[in-house]
Amino acid sequence: MLRIVIVDDEFPIREGIAKIICKENAAFFVAGVFSNGQEALDYITTADVDVVITDIRMPTLDGLELIKCLKSAQPEIRCIIMSGFTDFEYARQALRYSAVDYLLKPIDKQQLLKLLYMLDEEKEANFDEEQRLRSGVLLSYLKSATSLCSKLPEPDFPLPFFAVHVLRSRDIEALLAQLSLAVADQGLGCPADIIDTGEGMLTLISYYADEPDASMIKQLPSRLRPLLAPVGTIQAGSSRAYSRAAQLGKAYLEAVRASDYGLYDYSAWSCYHCEDMQLPDFDIAEWFIGTKEALSEHMQVLNLPQIKADLEILFDQIKENKPSRQSILSLCQLIHDTALTGLQEWKSLYPAAAGEQLEERLLACLTFAEMKSLFLSQFLKGLEEIRAGRLQMSDRSVETVKRWLYENYDQQAELGHLASMVYLTPSYLSKLFKNETGMTITDYLIEVRLKKAKHLLKTCPDMKIHEIGCEVGYPDPAYFNKLFKRIVGVTPNEYKKINSY
């Protein structure tokens, strides 16, 4: 709303201009009409005024002196000069004192209204910019550690004390719209700032002249409840009262933790004060250590029924402690990391971007049951995809391993490495290889190596026996000779003589 003051010593003119303005737009509010500059100045010093429309020649205090005083004391007020005199000197002086424009009488209605619309847009733009800067400062305080607050500009609080409230909803835009209406209509009973702190939350900072107790702080959410009914399910949390800007971060954490208590309250409206909570957070990482090993073993062999049972038990156990949202996210991350360590395919299946998207969806959940269901469905779906891929690959796994052994017969063939190549556990690969070839992997490798050794003994007469042993992966001559004779029936040297004729 543009609050306007009209100053002219001629009654018909000032009243006529006021009538034109009031009929044009409800956003134009004529706050007062005065016959001279002194009356207007006395009023303006105690009132909220945006625009002054003033004649130049008036008794007591003329228009030029009025805008000169305003420029010195309240430079944010925009002034429009009007006069029946065409002397350019008046216009020049008016512009020197930062008048917006100089209008000749009789006033051109369209020109005046055009100016007012321009000033209204300018006020809105300035207000939006001020709010943006203020919100940025407050957001920095809310999200910063106390030790860093000394580096931030000091915010201007309208009253000495404050409390922080956070509100969650499935529809943040609708929540913001309703909150903005409540603040604009002064329906909260106290001044307040609305800050979008992200993670599916809006933060409300309420201000008080006297230090409020918990019951007074709870009154604000109570007033909000009927106003926010159209938004749907709401989770709210409130902090204690504080007075220093550096305490905004502490208050914010209290309010967030209080709102998280609503995860376990399956109602359309849940609101908790930080002093209402009885259960402190516990160390999820330390608690998880006791179950990680068994869960990891079940993941490695992709025992999906057992994994699902393990996870159901995990979530049911932590539910009893009513942990915060962040603690639940930490548990999900620990489970994810366990899969990342034990399953080679997990990283490609769930890159960092997919993890971030899942975290955003988890933060948007309003109940513990939703968070649990969402995470388990996504996690188990990933395990099922890996299992299906391994089953498809199992038909080709033995051939892949055989080919690698044939091409790399001279290298060490560690079972763990071979199993990782085909995304199987070592024990399962050994069993599968034996079933399909009738041989163990070790026996198959020996067969490949000795075939290559026999070929070299036949075709490379200049190579010494120990050189051939090294070539096929047996650098120990005695072991090579012993193994060759046991499998072939003769020593390498005898085999070479027999095949040299």
Asked if the model's pLDDT at residue 168 lies above 90, the reply is yes
pLDDT digits (tens, 9 = 90+) for 362-399: 988 999 999 999 999 999 999 998 888 777 766 688 88
pLDDT at 149 (0 to 100): 67
Which of 454, 468, 440 is CA-nearest to residue 500? 454
Helices 441-459 and 426-437, packing angle to 10 deg: 60
pLDDT at 87 (0 to 100): 59
Q: What's the 3-state SS for 411-465?
A: CCCCHHHHHHHCCCCHHHHHHHHHHHHCCCHHHHHHHHHHHHHHHHHHHCCCCCH
Question: Does residue 264 lie in a domain region?
Answer: yes
Question: Does residue 412 lie in a domain region?
Answer: no
Check residues 99 and 420 and name the one with the higher pLDDT: 420
Of the chain, the percentage scoring pLDDT greater than 90 comes to 42
pLDDT at 147 (0 to 100): 63
Residues 92 and 15 in one domain: yes
Q: Is 71 helix (H, G, I), strand (E, B) or coil?
A: helix
Question: Does residue 261 lie in a domain region?
Answer: yes
Question: Does residue 428 lie in a domain region?
Answer: no
CATH number at residue 271: 3.30.70.270
Distant-in-sequence, close-in-space partners of 6: CB < 8 Å, separation ≥ 6: 14, 17, 18, 21, 30, 32, 33, 34, 53, 54
pLDDT at 164 (0 to 100): 96
Q: Are 245 and 154 in contact (CB under 8 A)?
A: yes
Asked if the model's pLDDT at residue 22 lies above 80, the reply is yes
Helices 325-342 and 284-300, packing angle to 10 deg: 30
Q: Are 51 and 77 in contact (CB under 8 A)?
A: yes
Phi-psi domain of 178 (left: phi exceeds 0; alpha: psi -120 through 50; beta: other):
alpha
Distant-in-sequence, close-in-space partners of 225: CB < 8 Å, separation ≥ 6: 234, 269, 271
Question: Does residue 408 lie in a domain region?
Answer: no
Asked if the model's pLDDT at residue 211 lies above 90, the reply is yes
Residues 168 and 226 in one domain: yes
Over residues 119-134, the mean pLDDT reads 83
pLDDT at 367 (0 to 100): 92
pLDDT digits (tens, 9 = 90+) for 391-415: 776 668 888 898 899 889 888 888 8
Question: Does residue 45 lie in a domain region?
Answer: yes
Looking at the DSSP bridge assignments, the partners of residue 5 are 32, 52
51-55, strands of its sheet edge to edge: 28-34, 2-7, 51-55, 78-83, 99-104
466, 470, 475, 478 alpha-carbon torsion, rounded to 10°: -30
Which tokens go with 440? Answer: 């163990």
Q: Is 332 helix (H, G, I), strand (E, B) or coil?
A: helix
At position 215, the amino acid (one-letter code) is S
pLDDT digits (tens, 9 = 90+) for 67-92: 888 888 888 888 888 887 665 566 66
Which of 321, 441, 308, 433 is CA-nearest to residue 378? 308
Single residue among 252, 276, 300 that ends a domain in this structure: 276
pLDDT digits (tens, 9 = 90+) for 405-459: 988 988 888 888 888 888 777 888 888 888 888 999 999 999 999 999 999 998 8
Domain, as residue range, for 82: 2-122
pLDDT digits (tens, 9 = 90+) for 322-340: 888 999 999 999 999 999 8
Other C-beta atoms lying within 10 Å of the C-beta of residue 493: 14
Residues 182 and 81 in one domain: no
Single residue among 98, 122, 146 that ends a domain in this structure: 122
- Provide the number of structural domains found in the chain: 4
pLDDT digits (tens, 9 = 90+) for 28-53: 999 999 999 999 999 998 888 999 99
**Cis ω before 106 (30° cut-off from 0):** yes
Residues 252 and 309 in one domain: no
Question: Does residue 389 lie in a domain region?
Answer: no
Question: Does residue 426 lie in a domain region?
Answer: no
Residues 251 and 289 in one domain: no
User: pTM for the full model?
Assistant: 0.66
Single residue among 242, 276, 310 that ends a domain in this structure: 276
Residues 258 and 242 in one domain: yes
The stretches of 34-167 forming alpha helices (DSSP H) are: 37-44, 63-73, 88-96, 109-143
Q: Which backbone phi and psi does 366 adopt, to 5 degrees?
A: -110, 0
Which tokens go with 484? Answer: 């060759």
